């Protein structure tokens, strides 16, 4: 009991100061000067073989990129005989596309994409296949560029 009282008295005498507030003394300049701000809008069309996967406008700038992500998972139309209670059988599709612009000696856009699709034959057959690519292409006002990936995946960029 005496030890507990001594400990309590000792702890009451100790005050803990709050940490100091950090105030920067100066700001650091950018290591390289920034180029002029530029914005480019593309009309984009993504196809998987003869199927239109996505189309729309994407705007990129020298400060920020653009991206599209679309995922869909559906139950199979019929019960799969090989799965217990239908777990693990679904029909999945996914598309991911990103654009980023770099201001180098010539303006270029970096394009990354992936397409996940179900295996032909239905959900009971199971499995998906994924195609992905990464490419860098020059851009010019009014230009049209087509990037061809494997498995019939194409991305068409039309600069406005």
- Per-residue pLDDT of 79-91, as tens digits, reads 777 655 545 567 7
| Range name among 13-22, 57-66, 112-121 with the lowest pLDDT average | 13-22
pTM for the model stands at 0.71
Span 79-105, average pLDDT: 75
Q: Given pLDDT bands bounded at 50, 70 and 90, which one contains residue 49?
A: confident
Tell me 60's DSSP state.
E
Residue written as token pair 């999945």: 92
Note the pLDDT of residue 94.
95
Half-sphere exposure of 64 (CA within 13 A, CB side): 5
Average pLDDT of the chain to the nearest whole number: 82
Question: Is 104 a residue whose pLDDT tops 80?
Answer: no
Q: How far apart are CA 56 and CA 152, in angstroms?
A: 20
| CA angle, 148 then 54 then 144, to 5° | 50
Whether 58 contacts 99, CB under 8 Å: yes
């Amino acid at each position: 009991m005496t030890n507990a009282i001594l400990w309590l008295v000792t702890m009451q005498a100790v005050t803990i100061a709050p940490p100091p507030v950090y105030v920067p003394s100066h700001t650091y300049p950018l290591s390289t000067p920034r180029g002029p701000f530029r914005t480019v809008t593309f009309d984009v069309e993504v196809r998987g073989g003869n199927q239109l996967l996505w189309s729309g406008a994407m705007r990129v700038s020298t400060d920020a990129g653009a991206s599209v992500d679309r995922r869909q998972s559906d139950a199979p139309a019929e019960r799969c005989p090989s799965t217990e209670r239908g777990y693990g059988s679904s029909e999945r599709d996914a598309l991911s596309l990103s654009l980023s612009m770099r201001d180098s000696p010539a303006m270029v856009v970096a394009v990354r994409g992936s397409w996940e699709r179900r295996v032909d034959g239905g959900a009971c057959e199971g499995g998906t296949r994924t195609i992905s690519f990464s490419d860098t292409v020059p851009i010019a006002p009014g230009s049209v560029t087509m990037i061809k990936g494997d498995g019939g995946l194409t991305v068409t960029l039309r600069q406005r």
